[in-house]
């Protein structure tokens, strides 16, 4: 599961993803949680577009109700088996800009948060799906879900799942118009190479979604220079 991530240096989103960036001047987000509105890259009629969507996808065909539960994650291994995701996989793929993500490791009676990032990539992209849903008041609400896969060896030391991080080459393939070639989801939605990533423990302030500042992505003082440190 991916339940929290960050997006830093967002003024450069336009150059990074080759889109007009209406978020220039907006602040970085250090502790993004489900239910908030975040930038997503979709394929529009005139090319790539950056749009704001809610993290949490409610399928468009779902009848509006107070019990509609949004999907914040979708498993890569079962996308084609679940009708709700198979339909979106054919036409509603998106890129979700991110700078890192958080996972928690159970150590005795405590869960310790860890931050995962790619040192040489200030911004990268998760693979995602999106859809539009209409609430009881008739308002159309676009939402997205982060696709997850089996963890690489680095993430596996902390958690059993990780978000799909796309290479730049695969970003273009994922966002291309039309259905993906047969077999390509399995080739695109794979764990990111662990040797390209770093992780370190961070403050448990990240457990509180309202704490959204750089403190939550700083290494704990005891782990400085020890990106692969794990408590026993």
Domain boundaries, the chain: 5-223
Residue 59's contacts (CB-CB under 8 Å, 6 or more residues apart) are 84, 88, 131, 133
Q: Which of 49, 103, 195, 214 is catalytic?
A: 103
**Cα→Cα distances 156→93, 174, 194, 203, Å:** 26, 25, 10, 20
- CA atoms within a 13 Å half-sphere pointing along the CA-CB vector of 158: 27
pLDDT of 177 reads 80
Asked if residue 146 lies in contact with residue 126, where contact means CB atoms within 8 angstroms, the answer is yes
Q: How far apart are CA 79 and CA 201, in angstroms?
A: 32
Structure tokens at 92: 């509603």
pLDDT at 229: 42
2 is catalytic: yes
108 DSSP 8-state letter: T
- Under DSSP, the state recorded for 105 is E
Catalytic residue among 2, 77, 81, 195, which? 2
**What CATH class has 5-223?**
alpha beta
Distances in whole angstroms, Cα of residue 229 to Cα of each of 31, 115, 150, 222: 22, 12, 21, 10
Tens-level pLDDT at each residue, the chain (232 residues): 799 999 998 888 999 999 988 888 789 999 999 999 999 999 987 889 999 999 999 987 776 555 568 999 999 999 989 988 999 998 899 999 999 999 999 998 999 999 999 999 999 999 999 999 887 788 888 999 999 999 999 999 999 999 999 999 999 999 988 777 666 677 899 999 999 999 999 999 999 999 999 999 999 986 554 454 444 4
Q: Based on the number of CB atoms within 10 Å of its own CB, is 112 exposed (0-12), middle (13-18) or buried (19 or more)?
A: middle
Task: Note the pTM of the prediction, 2 decimals.
Answer: 0.92
CA dihedral 18, 21, 24, 27 (to 10 degrees): -90
């Amino acid at each position: 599961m991916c339940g929290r991530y960050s997006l830093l240096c967002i003024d450069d989103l336009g150059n990074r993803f080759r889109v007009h960036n209406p978020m220039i001047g907006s602040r970085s987000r250090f502790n993004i949680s489900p239910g908030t509105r975040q930038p997503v890259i979709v394929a529009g009629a005139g090319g790539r577009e950056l749009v704001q969507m809610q993290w949490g996808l409610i399928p468009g065909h779902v009848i509006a109700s107070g019990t509609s539960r949004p999907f914040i994650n979708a498993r890569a291994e079962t996308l084609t088996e679940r009708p709700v995701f198979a339909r979106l996989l054919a036409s509603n793929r998106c890129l979700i800009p991110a700078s890192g993500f958080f996972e928690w490791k159970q150590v005795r009676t405590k869960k310790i948060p860890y931050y995962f990032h790619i040192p040489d990539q200030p911004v990268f992209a998760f693979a995602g799906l999106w859809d539009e849903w209409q609430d009881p008041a008739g308002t159309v609400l676009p939402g997205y879900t982060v696709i997850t896969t089996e963890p690489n060896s680095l993430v596996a030391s902390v958690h059993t799942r990780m978000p799909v991080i796309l290479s730049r080459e695969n970003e273009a393939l994922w966002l291309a118009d039309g259905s993906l070639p047969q077999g390509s989801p399995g080739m695109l939605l794979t764990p990111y190479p662990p040797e390209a990533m770093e992780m370190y423990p961070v403050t448990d302030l990240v457990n509180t979604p309202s704490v959204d500042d750089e403190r939550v992505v700083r290494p704990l003082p005891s782990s400085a220079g020890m990106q692969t440190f794990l408590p026993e």
